Amino acid sequence: MYKHSSVKTLWVWFSGILFSFCISFQSVAQNQHFISGIVTDSATGKPLPGVTVVEIGSNHGTVTDAEGQYRLSLSGPAARLRFSYIGYRSKVVPVENGLTNLNIGLTSSNTSLNELVVIGYGSQKRADVTGAVAQLNANRIDERPISRLEQAMEGQLAGVQVRTTTGQPGAALQIRVRGTASISASNDPLYVVDGIPVSDLGDINPEDIASIEVLKDAASSAIYGSRGANGVVLITTKKGQAGQTRFTFNAYTGFQELAKKIDLLSPQEWIDLATQIEDSNWVKLGIQKGKNYQATDPISFRQQQLGVTQNATYIPDSRWAYGADSLAFIDWQDAFYRKAPMNSVQLTASGGNANFTYRLSGNYLDQEGIAVYTNYKLASVRANFEGQMAKFLKVGLEISPSYSWLNGGDVDGKDNQSHHVLAMVPVAEKNAGINTGVAPYGRYYWAGSTQSPVAYERATTDLQNRLRLLSNMYVLANLYDGLSLKLTGAWNADMQFHKVYHPTLGLGQAPGSASSGSYSTANSQYYLFESLLTYNHSFGGHNINILAGYTAEETVGTNSGQSHRLFANDELTTLNNATSTVTSSTTTEFKETLLSYLGRILYNYKDKYLASVAFRRDGSSKFGSNNKWGNFPSFSLGWNIAQENFMRAIPWINVLKLRYSWGMNGNNSIPNYLAYGGISAANYSFNGSLANGYVPSSLSNPDLHWEKTRSSNYGADIGIINNRISLSVDHYDKLTTDLLLNVPVALATGFSSGWVNIGHVQNKGWEFELNTQNLTGKLQWQTSFNIGFNHNKVLALGQGNAPIHTGFSNLTQIIEVGQPINAFYLYDAIGVYMNDADLKASPHMSTNIVGDVKYKDVNGDGVIDANDRTIMGYPDPTYSWGIYNIFTYKGFDLSFLIQGAGGNKTYEIIGRAIDRPSMGFTQNALGRWRNRWRSPSQPGDGHTPRIDGTTGGYYDSRWLYDATYARFKNLTIGYTFPHQLIKGVDQARIYFSAENMFYFINRDYGGYSPEALNTSGGDYGSYPDAKTFMVGINLSF
């Protein structure tokens, strides 16, 4: 059992000191007149940092801190205060006798300039931001029904690619910020929710989110040091606002269905293919026997010659001639994928007074999967509290428990049910139908041994439960005008349970005799203590914000699992019912710590000249004893040219800002203990008998350290015509060095490989974000367009720069200097050998026959072999884009989002099962095999080879597709009822929303989605994307 004394002790110690300080400070201040409060944006409720607060008629004044907090000494018990902030309308407020707390909301005079942006450990006006930060506000998130938070970011943020790698309910989406930078470490960004790092965004209700900010450049993300190399996604949740209790009720219901169906052979077409193969086999058998067998020989003759009534290799099924009258013809995609309902309901309550605010929310999601017998359910609660405990002291508490159920696995990927749905022959015995291969029915004799995927999912138990708790508490003390101390403690707990049971399904097998089961758990706890000191000061046009802090983090956990086989029956599925020995049993424990010191200075002069400097020093338990600490500096500069006096002559230019930033980040997203030599249990021969002991299992490396990314960013922000048109442009150059790789080492070490830091990868690109207000009258129309381009290149791979083969079985991809990471490395299929003359005149393999796939002779030596494999494309998009439009007229609103990506390719490895020569007829095939080569006089389409060819074992470009796509991602139509129409209801809106309505992709593409990724280097049968159609209601009262 682990002890977490370091972080816990710090929390208790600092809390005690703060408590004592608060008491003493209050006794000194009790005879003075003070007023304090929070200044917020009246539209969004977000705190405004840097607001000038002045007592009129005196020299007393201050500015609000990063939390929008201010505290001001007054000359007497009555006064008048002026609150001013560039881009906001100033407000003068009288202070009544004895008032000690005053919260103010300011109205923006220019929303685009003064929109607040969360930047990590604070926030800034957008006009003052000098880094590359992409933002998505709550209105974009709330207007449509989504089940995962990542969905809100698809196509909405330049340089942020969100990829739906699987359609399984509850599954995470893949996020990449400015490309792929690492080969062995994770490329996922750091996720931070209300200032607390979290492992993933699962179980977080999208309707609880106030804003999403993505820190893309090093100057923005370097404040997160060793975890910021892949970008940082900052999630800010909604908080309570002072006033009477306000309730909101949101609900939606609808259904999902298969977005795209793969073209496969029909039952009759499969029969034609099977007949052709059997006839070919029969003729070949005759040649072997010296007999003149013909493809036209009847079934009775073949039976007589073979002395059997059935032989799937040579004898067709006589019932094929009668079709569906005597056999079951099955479309397995229709049988396995269904129209599935989805429902969600949420209730929130928020309110408070000048000293205390709260927001409570509860959400329940019930999503049936489009694959039969799969579903996902999520119940979550979030409670946010904030209280002004004294004139100078504020506390906050957030608690968010959630529980999720995921039922039905084994759908995605190789040898799982989506694979089998595509590979199952579309014919079965009439009495078995979709239960073919499952007792009491046997499999169809001419089909493969695979059991019905429908029956498999129905009988199998695959249940994953997750109990998660996110919690944090902070204490904020305003120590002096502009000086504040914030202490934060966090505890996150994550408990996951996974039960699997595969019963015995085959005909003639005793129940339990072929059954298997497993049970695994993964439990972790995360602790954080953070101390931040902030100082804000303004003088003579100079505005400065200084941040200094310290954080201590610790994660501990245990993982365990057991697998059993051979059960007494299939009624009792607990593991102690197994009758065999345990097939596997594992238990692991881990501990990870991170200690950090950080600082940042934000400066601007009259909002014209901007600068920031940040530094973080991290110490991590993951790395070797010689390199536990890393330093991560950054700086940025900005010039608000539009604020210069000479720009007054050009009034239609509202924003013209130039930005530059440079910084360094790290990536420590690797497994624990790689730097340390491991040991494993082993037996020794000792004095003629076996003795238990341990042997070294891995090589230690005390010099192992994090990957480092140096990044520079040039940017410009432009706004014209009262900011009705705004444009942001960024150019970046990221260089990642000291890549973590497992490389061969000298055999003298006793090991074959070890982890070292070698290699460099570069990502360079451009990003554009355009926002326009096209119409501003009764009919309003706004457009947002973004596009990002990224070029990835491997610059070095250590001594000798030897390429690294990766992908499926390490045969389909390569990492090579001068190329993007994981380039596809394949035989280039350029057609088919159409006849004997074509075969003889073309380079070929010694085993090739007419009708085989023809490969390009890349090296020109006249022979086709492994040296002719070549780079054929890249898996990561070189560009991604999105365009969003919203129209409003009176109470009506209509919005739509179209997004896409391109410049990359996808490898459909499912082709090994349904799209290759020599695959036989015991499984189905892609529809293109209708146009296969049959003979020199029936050459087909010139690209699809003969069904009994010799190249079935080669990985070639026939399964490589252009992955460029455009998707009509969302359409939402809503109507908000007039306020006075429904008594007691402040706002009521109804809407219809559709997701994934249309895909525009390569017409030859043979998969469900070009974004699918479920096996090393490609797609081996994915859980398909779903189209969704929802109706919903939003109420507030």
pLDDT-derived band of residue 15, with 50, 70 and 90 as boundaries?
very low
Q: Whole-angstrom Cα distance, residue 751 to residue 745? A: 7
pLDDT at residue 111 greater than cutoff 60:
no
- pLDDT beyond 80 at 253: yes
Residue 77 pLDDT grade (very low, low, confident, very high; cuts 50, 70, 90): confident
pLDDT at 878 over 70: yes
Residue 1035: predicted pLDDT: 92
- pLDDT value of position 249: 95
Tens of pLDDT, residue by residue over 688-735, are 777 788 777 778 888 888 899 999 999 999 999 988 999 999 999 999
Question: How large is the average pLDDT for residues 971-975?
Answer: 96
User: pLDDT value at position 964?
Assistant: 96
Q: What is the model's pLDDT at position 228?
A: 92
Return the higher-pLDDT residue of 526 and 800.
Answer: 526
Q: What is the pLDDT of residue 57?
A: 76
Q: What is the DSSP letter of 23?
A: H
Question: Which distant-in-sequence residues (6+ apart) come within 8 Å of 208 by Cβ?
Answer: 237, 238, 361, 363, 382
**Is beta strand 629-640 parallel, antiparallel or unpaired with respect to 653-667?**
antiparallel
> How high does pLDDT run on average in the chain?
90
Q: What is the pLDDT of residues 985-1033, one digit of tens each?
A: 888 999 999 999 988 998 889 899 999 998 877 899 999 999 999 999 9
pLDDT digits (tens, 9 = 90+) for 782-811: 999 999 999 999 999 988 899 999 999 889
* 247, two tokens: 């309730």
Strand ranges, E, within 678-778: 679-686, 689-696, 707-720, 725-737, 740-744, 753-757, 760-776
Task: For residues 628-644, give the mean pLDDT.
Answer: 95
SS3 810: helix
Say whether pLDDT at 19 is over 70: no
Whether 709 contacts 739, CB under 8 Å? no
Q: What mean pLDDT do residues 824-842 have?
A: 96
Q: Dihedral sign for Cα 667, 671, 672, 676, please.
A: negative
Confidence band for 28, pLDDT divided at 50, 70 and 90: very low
- Give the residue-averaged pLDDT of 901-908: 95
- Of 502-506, 685-689, 711-715, the range with the lowest mean pLDDT is 685-689
DSSP summary character for residue 29? H
Per-residue confidence (pLDDT) for residue 6, from 0 to 100: 55
Does residue 469 have a pLDDT over 70?
Answer: yes
| Residue, of 326 and 409, whose pLDDT is higher | 326
State yes or no: pLDDT of 381 exceeds 80. yes
- Give the pLDDT score at 812: 95
> Region 392-415: what's the mean pLDDT?
93
Q: How far apart are CA 120 and CA 230, in angstroms?
A: 15
> For residues 638 and 657, is the Cβ–Cβ distance under 8 A?
yes
Looking at residues 596-608, what average pLDDT do you find? Answer: 95
Classify domain 32-109 by CATH architecture. Answer: Sandwich (2.60)
Provide, rounded to the nearest whole percent, the portion of the chain with pLDDT above 90: 68
pTM: 0.88
List the Cα angle 608/610/613 in 5-degree steps. Answer: 170
- The answer on pLDDT for 17 being more than 50 is no
pLDDT of 334 above 70: yes
Q: Which pLDDT band, with edges at 50, 70 and 90, does 59 fall under?
A: low
pLDDT at 165: 94
Cis peptide before 440 (omega within 30 of 0): yes
Other residues' Cβ atoms within 10 Å of the Cβ of residue 276: 17
The DSSP 8-state label assigned to residue 724 in this structure reads: T
Instruction: Please tell me the predicted confidence (pLDDT) of residue 722.
Output: 87
565 close to 580: Cβ distance less than 8 angstroms: yes
Residue corresponding to tokens 């052709």: 276
pLDDT number for residue 508: 85
The structural domains of the chain, with segments of one domain joined by +, span 32-109, 267-321
For residue 43, name the pLDDT band (cuts at 50, 70, 90): low
Residue 455 binned pLDDT confidence (cut-offs 50, 70, 90) = very high
What is the per-residue pLDDT for 85?
A: 78
Are the beta carbons of 788 and 766 closer than 8 angstroms?
yes
391, 36 Cβ separation under 8 angstroms: yes
Q: Which of 62-71, 321-330, 904-913 has the lowest mean pLDDT?
A: 62-71
The whole-angstrom separation of Cα 502 and Cα 512 is 9
Exposure on the CB side of residue 913, measured as CA atoms within 13 A? 26
Q: What is the tens place of the pLDDT at every residue in 612-627?
A: 999 999 999 998 888 8
| Distance of alpha carbon 577 from alpha carbon 569, whole angstroms | 8
Instruction: Give pLDDT, residue 25.
Output: 37
Tell me which residue has tokens 């189905």. Answer: 924
Angle at 625 between CA 622 and CA 628, to 5 degrees: 55
